[in-house]
Amino acid sequence: MWLSHHWHAFFLALRRLVGSPLANLLNIIVIGVAFSLPTGVYMLLGNVQSLSGQLSGAPQLNVFLKLDTGKDAIEKLKSHLKQHPQVENFRFLPKDKALEQLKQRNGMATAINSLTRNPLPDAFIIDAKSISPETLKRLRNEMLKWPDSMHVQLDSDWMERLNALLKLGQIALLILTALLSFALIVVTFNTIRLQILTKRNEIEVSKLIGATSNFIRRPFLYFGAIQGVAGGAIAWLIVALVINLINSELINLVRLYAVDFQLHHISFEDSISLLLFSSWLGWVGAWLSVASHLWQIEP
Amino acid sequence: MISFSNVYKRYPNGFEALKNIAFTIKQGEMVFITGNSGAGKSTLLKLIGAIERPTTGGIIVNDQNISKLKNSAIPYLRRNLGMVFQGQKILFDRSVFDNVVLPLQICGFEHQSAAGRVRAALDKVGLLDKEKALPITLSGGEQQRLCIARAVVNRPSILIADEPTTYLDPSYTKDIMNMFKSFHQVGVTVLITTPTAALLESPQYRILSLNHGELVT
Ligand SMILES: Nc1ncnc2c1ncn2[C@@H]1O[C@H](COP(=O)(O)OP(=O)(O)OP(=O)(O)O)[C@@H](O)[C@H]1O
Ligand SMILES: [Mg+2]
């Protein structure tokens, strides 16, 4: 009996939805478009995050050695680095080679040729395993303490800046989601309000022949939830379409830069969360509307 | 059983629609309530269905004290009452069948058994061939029969009807009265209001007369 009540309410809600298809479709589209915005921003943030990981690989540390470092010391450092648990990869850049590289830059050759001796130090270029800023800083401090190191440069500045930017993006996302959730609730609230007004007669008669408040409330709640879910699905579709569109453009762009990058789609878990969240919001909107309007109808 | 003791009903605007009403109707009785327009007939029936609450006094319906009933218990009281309202309260946006099935949906009947009961009720009032029709296409008498079918579909032990024949042509009136009599014959308590003028070629039934909110004997 309990189940049959819920089926009844569910089908009644569906019937009401199909009953005025245009108005409800417009509503659903409005909800979908509104919700595609935070969903899109969410996807963008996720993609930027994974892109930044991909582009930088592991961030690099440059260790410049003191000018008078001997060959033995360098060999010792090499074997130390090979065994270091935090080091993914490293390359030794002797000072002669560094000078060669510098010469190849435009306009530098004459300046360098006039030098009497090589002012550049030997250097290690190290790829760390971790990308967390704290670990990197610890690694840097450790390398600074080597007796032969003169200077350690950690090129994680842009990572930090990006992370700060991502954090800002997340705050913006939160605000956007809150605002548009509120909008969804308001839209549903109003839809249900209008519905209650037009169903006034039905509600009154139902009460007169023994309907409980729950029985009357339920179809409206289901309606709100269904509308929310449908809006969520539209949002999903919009975002999926946009991602596909961008990806097909990216293929050309990516070929030029020789990186392998495609925006990833909404994951299964995120899709489910999106639909659950939007249906919950619809339900809340309907609940608020029913709570504030239904009691006014007395037989 | 329906029992009123010292019931007063004062509407929020201060109008006293019923004064010191006391009577008892036994299970299975058929009773007419008469009185001029404004005498308080509808008010009395509304008190039985807990559509209005008494200002003071006690009302017992099926061993339940209505005057002390919690709001949340009212739906369950109404499910055991068949009510035919003055002004019909038909839902014109759905078929005859869908109107009559509503009380059963409210009680949570499965579709199959509900359909069986709806057809039985429609058969009793002679509307079986119109189950798919929209109420707007029915005559006044047929609409009134639809309301009766809806009132009896849940097989209530008490049937109350507020002026079920007032605006009907005399030929319909007889039909409908016979229908109520047939419910009475199978043990249903039947309570019908009717204006004084329209009284009645059925002297064998008990009559409660209202005059300006008071029972006259
Ligand atoms: N909600 C209300 N608020 C104030 N007064 C009311 C209300 N309902 C009814 N009344 C008054 O109470 C009196 C009795 O009304 P009621 O509807 O019971 O009369 P009735 O006997 O059914 O009349 P009729 O034969 O015209 O239907 C009337 O004078 C009416 O104006
Ligand atoms: Mg009346």
In a domain, B105, yes or no: yes
- When CB atoms are compared, the residue of A208, A210, A215 closest to B89 is A208
Task: Note whether residue B117 is domain-resident.
Answer: yes
- Nearest-neighbour CA in chain A from B113: distance (Å): 13
Pocket residue to mutate for ligand 1, from B11, B18, B209, B212, most atoms within 8 A of Cβ: B11
Is B145 a domain residue? Answer: yes
- The model's pLDDT over B45-66, given as tens digits with 9 standing for 90+, comes to 999 999 998 999 889 998 888 8
- pLDDT value of position B103: 92
A 215-244 near B (Cβ less than 8 A): 215
SS3 A62: strand
In contact, A131 and A59? CB cutoff 8 Å = yes
Residue type (1 letter), A282: G
Residue of A nearest to B109 (CA): A1
Other CB atoms within 10 A of residue A2 CB: 6
The protein residue whose alpha carbon is closest to atom 22 in ligand 1 is: B42
Residue A179 phi, psi dihedral angles, 5° rounding: -65, -45
Pick the closest to residue B200 from B84, B31, B45, B82 (CA basis): B31
- Which chain A residues are within 8 Å of B83, Cβ to Cβ? 208-209
Q: Are A229 and A235 in contact (CB under 8 A)?
A: no
Chain B interface test: which of A205, A209, A214, A297 (most B C-beta within 10 Å): A209
CA distance to partner chain A, nearest, from residue B203 (Å): 31
- For residue B200, being part of any structural domain is answered with no
CATH class of A60-155: alpha beta
Q: Indicate the residue of B75, B89, B109 with minimum beta-carbon distance to A212.
A: B75
> Can you give the length of chain A in residues?
299
Q: Which residues line ligand 1 (CB under 6 A)?
A: B 11, 13, 15, 17, 35, 37-43, 86, 195
The answer as to whether B151 is a domain residue is yes
Instruction: Answer yes or no: are the C-beta atoms of A193 and A247 closer than 8 Å.
Output: no
Tell me the CA–centroid distance for residue B85 and ligand 2, in Å.
Answer: 9
Q: Are A219 and A236 in contact (CB under 8 A)?
A: no
- B49: chain A residues, CB-CB within 8 Å: 208
Per-residue pLDDT of chain A (299 residues; tens, 9 = 90+): 667 778 878 888 888 888 888 888 888 899 899 889 999 888 888 888 777 766 655 567 888 888 888 888 888 888 888 888 888 888 888 888 888 887 777 677 777 777 778 888 888 888 887 767 777 788 888 888 888 888 888 776 667 777 788 888 889 889 999 998 998 899 899 999 998 998 888 899 999 998 988 888 999 999 999 999 999 999 999 999 999 898 888 887 777 766 667 778 888 999 999 999 999 999 999 999 998 888 777 76
Q: Which residues of B touch A212 (CB under 8 A)?
A: 72, 75, 106
Q: Chain A: residue nearest B87 by CA? A: A205
Distance CA(A105)–CA(A121), nearest Å, equals 18
Residue appearing with tokens 């130090």: A121
Instruction: State the total domains in chain B.
Output: 1
Q: Note whether residue B183 is domain-resident.
A: no
Q: Where are the domains of chain A?
A: 2-55+160-296, 60-155
Which residues make up the environment of ion ligand 2, defined by Cβ < 5 Å? B 42, 86
* CA pair distance A227, B68, nearest whole angstrom: 41
A198 token code pair:
């037009």
CB contact under 8 A, B102 and A206: yes
Residues of chain B with pLDDT under 70: 167, 196-203
CA–centroid distance, B43 to ligand 1, in Å, is 6
- Can you list the alpha helix ranges (DSSP code H) found in chain B? 41-48, 74-79, 96-107, 111-124, 140-152, 170-185
CB A195 within 8 A of CB A260: no
Contact B103 A212 (CB under 8 A): no
The distance between the two most distant Cα atoms of chain B, rounded to a whole number of Å, is 49
Nearest CA in chain A to B79: A210
Tokens of residue B87, six digits:
């002004």
Provide the domain limits for residue B144. 91-155
**Residue A238's pLDDT is what?**
94
Of B143, B194, B197, the C-alpha closest to B172 is B143
CA of B84 to the centre of ligand 2 (A): 12
Residue B42 lies in a domain: no
Report the Cα B176 to chain-centroid distance in Å.
13
